[in-house]
């Protein structure tokens, strides 16, 4: 049974590395947006495992906090 990724985001990020598809679903943005952010170095920091791109949930959480703090200022 598949879970709603938005419910996961509300409950907290998972404790495993996220794929670009996971992150796009969690943030409800197109995957192309993630790749655009990565190219411009404005999104959450990702890393490569071989040819696969992964995101650390801690880095994603920090990035989200930076975005919400910046918007509040």
**Over 60: is that where the pLDDT of 5 sits?**
no
Per residue in 14-66, pLDDT tens? 678 999 999 999 999 999 999 999 999 999 999 999 999 999 999 998 999 89
Containing 48, the helix (H) or strand (E) segment is strand 46-49
What is the spatial distance between Cα 31 and Cα 15, in angstroms, rounded to a whole number?
A: 21
pLDDT band of 13, cuts 50, 70, 90: low
The secondary structure of residue 70, as a DSSP letter, is: H
**Over 60: is that where the pLDDT of 9 sits?**
no
Beta strands in the chain (DSSP E): 46-49, 52-55
Question: What are the extents of the domains in the chain?
Answer: 21-72
Q: What Rg value do the Cα atoms of the chain yield, rounded?
A: 12
Cβ proximity of 31 and 24 under 8 Å: yes
């Amino acid at each position: 049974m598949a879970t709603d990724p938005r419910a996961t985001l509300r409950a907290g990020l998972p404790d495993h590395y996220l794929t670009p598809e996971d992150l796009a679903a969690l943030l409800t943005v197109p995957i192309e947006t993630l790749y655009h952010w990565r190219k411009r170095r404005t999104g959450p920091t990702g890393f490569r495992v071989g040819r696969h791109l992964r995101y650390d949930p801690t880095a994603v959480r920090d990035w989200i906090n930076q975005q919400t703090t910046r918007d509040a200022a």
